Structure 1
Amino acid sequence: MDDRTAGASALKRLRNRRAWSLSVLAHALVDAGRELHVPHMPTAASVQRTVSRWEAGKAVPDDRYQLLLAYVYATTHCGQVSLGAGSDFAELCDALGLLGVGAGQVGETRTAVIRHLTDRGGASLLAFLTPGGQQGLAGALADPSRTDDVVLGDLAATVDGVNAQVGSLPFVRLQLMLSPAVEACRTLLAGPVPEPLLPQLRSTAVAASTLAGRLAFETRDDTASRVLYAEATRTAGELSEPWRQAGVHMSHALVTLYSQDGLERPRALVDAAVRAARTGDSVLVRARAHALQAEIAARANLDRQVQTALGLAWYDMEATHAGDPSSSSFSPGHLRGFEGVCQLWVGDPARAHDQFAESAATLTAPREQVQRAIVRTDQALARIRMGSPQEAAELLHTCVTAAATTGGRVPAIRLRRARRELRPWRREDWVADLDDHLMDALGA
């Protein structure tokens, strides 16, 4: 059986599992189209014929029907949202892959469904668990001694699922989706979880608290952010994995850099990250720690230290990364962005501009859109310093849109900084247009 035939069979199997006729599924898709305001939906009879062609392997659902199918199968027959492994939704995504739909398109469909579900308040912690995992987690929370590796695997997948939506959904929604996972980790850590499972639980708790600390910062709750980072730091200290401690310190350093005045506290956190990373197993985490150390040095106008730290970052970046436990955490594109920031503070803005352009060209994944907005904003700042303010304003328009999509705090801070440097041209029409866009999108 080839992939396309297997995909068609999977679509039919999904429908039969729910004991739905072709007509019932067709009406469900039409209803979903109405709920999602899909224009020009055909009649149920027409949709039924289309479904029949999919299941016979004669056609593949187009973008519109992929969304509608995902929306229908994201909810169980009992009305609960279920997106985790083993769910009908997960099986549909696999079927679409077999039918030749690219991973990027499947990811976009997944994000669109989660966005619609959060619009109506339907996506929560339980949505990301496996069907059996919901009952297992409830039992473990009532009695942590009943925790098993299946429950912890589900909990880790939930945190990963929320993390994967950074850049695709507003931070405030992600915060609401993640909060129950953070509370679940706290409850289990406070209870008598079987000793062999503690490292796995602590790893998930560190990931959850670190992400929650970042989300609290993005939604301007700095007090909650500090509490969550303190939790993550304590729990990471109980793990024999220094690279995880380094990751917490780096994330904490970045939010501290933008939520407090001065460089003393961010520098201390970055230095702690470098020390932890040097004894850890992740070369990529070490590269990122050195890159962040270079940025802090650049902001302090310490050019010699900047060059040393960047050299160490590239040394680690060019090393072999086989088996790296944090393989997707940092890339040459990210490092180019750090180089650009350093050039912007202590070097040549023209060189910084080119480095930002190289970095932005590689940051194409949904998860990287916040970082891309930051890089593009800094690229616009470089254009201002190169004597091209109007071109900078044109680039800033795209950055405003990206910042508004996620509600990101750092892109907004960088945008305001770039706008301040346009003050000499404040009477120009193109600056007024940018101000209108900033007000409409960000209220500032």
Structure 2
Amino acid sequence: MQDSAAGAATMKALRRRRGLSLAGTARALTNVAAELRLPALPAVASVQRSVARWEAARPTRPDDRYQLLLGHLYARTPAGSIAIGPGSDFAELLTALHLLGEGERRTAELRTAVLRAATDQGAGMLSLLSPALQAQLAAALADPARTTDETVAGLAAAVADVNGQVGTLPMVRLQLLLAPAVDAARRLLAAPVPSAPLQESLREAAVAAYTVAARLAFETRDDEASRAAYTAATREAAQLGRPWRQAGVHMSHALTTMYATHDLAAARVLADRAVRAAQRGESILVRARAHALQAEMLARAGQARQVDTALRLAWYDMEANHAGDPAVTSFSAGHLRGFEGVCELHVGDPATAHDRFAHSAAALAAPRELVQRAIVTVDQALARIRMGAPQDAVELLHQSVDAAAATGGRVPALRLRDARQALRPWRQETWVMDLDDHLLDGLGA
């Protein structure tokens, strides 16, 4: 909620906490701009007036350039380390910007830009934690008996934070961020913690960490590490009293198995396990996703009648009441339209598939959904090829090359390869050769 007076007060408190005067802040921002090799700011006196306006009785909001500079300034602690998690000055800055009227999307982009720079400098998972939680986690690793609910909650939040950056940061960087969380979860699980409820919370955090690690290992083409992480996630999930968590592990594993090994039978076994687990669980949305995945596997096997049944079940769950669902952000109608499109592509009508993909791509607008949107866009291009419009398909494929290159996503790259194979009859056309150049420049293939 916008509250300009509160935003201005927060900006002032943040500056004073750092011991900065208005002129000192102006000089600090000028130095940050120089360090980042950005265009030089105006004279210090001019910058100082801007700083004062952000804290005035009728404040203005910093523009995009100043937001970036403030983000880098407050992301670094006075001691020189990176801290952007809850309780950090950077998090306080984002709160101030929200109060001054900045939107969620813009602050999310700012956070991603700062996190990208932090990973360039070697910052790891600890930058996602508050300073207090960093100390608590270090204490718990030294003596597991000192593990607290807050420590485990912070670890789980850090894992969710990394997972939430898929699509905005390259997969390799996300692996570097996640590795300490996986190690911490492994070490704490191997040692006695103070209580059974805490052990269960820790196990839930570990399941999430292992599953994300498995997905990231797959994306970076380390299939052996991916299988090992899925094994650990499956083992720990089996000990939780939350079947929907088991279903999530099985679904992720099914998809990576299909793409890494092309073993549809093995992938279908995992998808069926996901459905059975989801049917016992309390998340209706996870159940919808499991039925949708099962429908895709059936479509790839050419079993059209069973596909229709699975999709009907998915829509039944999608249209149910999701109040209180523990995985409320895990699946949406936009995602389901994408699954419908894949099914139509394999056992139905390419024109219908094209419309489903277009609807899905339009709905998958969040930065977190960039990888999924790239996949859907390639599939939409395949539908255009089958409809007899290959040149129109290439327009969509150019978009997906950029997305695949930006994220390092393995599945979009694999789908692009399939689409390029489908364009072989037109390989001498200039527009296909232009696509080949783009593929070479963006993906090296």
| TM-score (norm. length: structure 2) | 0.98
**1:321 maps to which residue?**
322
Does the 8 Å contact 2:175/2:216 carry over to 1?
A: yes
Deviations 1:295-325 (A, max 9, x none): 0000000001101100100010011100000
**1:222 maps to which residue?**
223
Deviations 1:389-427 (A, max 9, x none): 001011100000000000000000000000000000000
One-letter code aligned to 2:121: R
Deviations 1:116-143 (A, max 9, x none): 111222x311101111111111110011
One-letter code aligned to 1:149: D
Is the partner of 1:207 in helix, strand or coil? helix
In the aligned structure 2, how far is the partner of 1:86 from the partner of 1:211?
Answer: 25
Structure 1 range deviating more: 47-56 or 327-336: 47-56
**1:120 maps to which residue?**
121
In the aligned structure 2, how far is the partner of 1:35 from the partner of 1:311?
Answer: 56
One-letter code aligned to 2:22: L
**1:24 maps to which residue?**
24
In the aligned structure 1, how far is the partner of 2:50 from the partner of 2:263?
Answer: 62
* 1:38 to partner: Cα distance: 2.2
Structure 1 range deviating more: 428-437 or 39-48: 39-48
In the aligned structure 2, how far is the partner of 1:418 from the partner of 1:109?
Answer: 34
**1:341 maps to which residue?**
342
In the aligned structure 2, how far is the partner of 1:344 from the partner of 1:359?
Answer: 14
One-letter code aligned to 1:385: R
One-letter code aligned to 1:152: V
Does the 8 Å contact 2:2/2:98 carry over to 1?
A: no
Deviations 1:65-92 (A, max 9, x none): 1111111101110011111111111111
* 1:354 to partner: Cα distance: 0.4
In the TM superposition, 1:103-182 aligns within 5 A as 103-121=104-122, 123-182=123-182
Structure 1 range deviating more: 342-351 or 51-60: 51-60
In the aligned structure 1, how far is the partner of 2:234 from the partner of 2:43?
Answer: 56
Structure 1 vs Structure 2 CA RMSD = 1.1
One-letter code aligned to 2:263: G
**2:85 maps to which residue?**
84
* 1:262 to partner: Cα distance: 2.3
1:37 aligns with 2:2: no
In the aligned structure 2, how far is the partner of 1:98 from the partner of 1:291?
Answer: 40
Deviations 1:18-51 (A, max 9, x none): 1111122111111111222322422222211110
* 1:336 to partner: Cα distance: 0.3
**2:4 maps to which residue?**
4
In the aligned structure 1, how far is the partner of 2:68 from the partner of 2:36?
Answer: 10
In the TM superposition, 1:14-413 aligns within 5 A as 14-56=14-56, 57-121=58-122, 123-195=123-195, 196-413=197-414
Is the partner of 1:132 in helix, strand or coil? helix
In the aligned structure 2, how far is the partner of 1:261 from the partner of 1:50?
Answer: 58
Q: Structure 1 residues 117, 353: CA separation in 2 closer, same or farther (over 3 Å shift)? A: same
Q: Structure 1 residues 26, 192: CA separation in 2 closer, same or farther (over 3 Å shift)? A: same
In the aligned structure 2, how far is the partner of 1:35 from the partner of 1:376?
Answer: 38
* 1:2 to partner: Cα distance: 7.6
Is the partner of 1:82 in helix, strand or coil? coil
Is the partner of 1:19 in helix, strand or coil? coil
Structure 1 runs (4+) greater than 4 angstroms displaced = none
> Which runs of 5 or more structure 1 residues have no equivalent in the other structure?
none
In the aligned structure 1, how far is the partner of 2:283 from the partner of 2:52?
Answer: 50
Q: Structure 1 residues 114, 201: CA separation in 2 closer, same or farther (over 3 Å shift)? A: same
Q: Structure 1 residues 102, 249: CA separation in 2 closer, same or farther (over 3 Å shift)? A: same
In the aligned structure 2, how far is the partner of 1:306 from the partner of 1:41?
Answer: 60
Is the partner of 2:131 in helix, strand or coil? coil
* 1:252 to partner: Cα distance: 0.5
Does the 8 Å contact 2:86/2:129 carry over to 1?
A: yes
In the aligned structure 2, how far is the partner of 1:256 from the partner of 1:428?
Answer: 35
In the aligned structure 2, how far is the partner of 1:372 from the partner of 1:261?
Answer: 22
One-letter code aligned to 1:364: A
One-letter code aligned to 2:85: G
1:414 aligns with 2:392: no
Q: State percent identity of aligned pairs.
A: 64
